[in-house]
Amino acid sequence: MLGRTHLIFGLLLGLFFINFFNLGNVFILFVLLGSLFPDLDHPGSLISRFNFVFKDVSKIISKTIGHRTYLHTLEAGFLFSLLLAPVFSYFGFNVLFSTLGFFVGFIGHLFLDSLTRSGIPLFFNGVKWNLFKFKQKKHYGLKLIKTGSIEEGYLDLILFLLLIGLYLF
């Protein structure tokens, strides 16, 4: 999926959690961060183009592990949520809400990418390491939508309409 789809879905998830679980508005920022984070393994992704540090990190990750490998697993979601918790705390954010928001966004990203034709490895055991790069052994998902296709555009429209409906609700 493209970054815009992840952002729209992240906003939808964040707004849902804020409305129905009475969380603070800053929760959405962490959902959005989590919804873009797995694509740090692709130099052309929205998060990688954010600034030069992310771009450089993205290039290194892309060359060492490849796209849609380890960063697109549940284990990575748990690990990075835990690793970033002290960073969120350092900057004065509520650790529980910020970490939960990040994890919700991360899982939302995995869900959307599981809808694409390439699917996702989902678990680390679905990724095989060789000397230079991770190789994807098995991809899971519905595999319905080609990234950047008209189908993804329709999904964007549906998610956007749901977002407006939830906002008005």
Long-range Cβ pairs for the range 133-136 (8 Å, 24+): 133/63, 133/64, 133/65, 133/66, 133/69, 134/65, 134/66, 134/69, 134/70, 135/66, 135/69, 136/66, 136/68, 136/69
- Predicted confidence (pLDDT) at residue 153 exceeds the cutoff of 90: yes
For residues 141-158, average pLDDT: 94
How does residue 127 score in pLDDT terms, banded at 50, 70 and 90?
Answer: low
Specify the pLDDT at position 96.
93
- Predicted confidence (pLDDT) at residue 157 exceeds the cutoff of 90: yes
For residues 63-77, average pLDDT: 86
Specify the pLDDT at position 39.
93
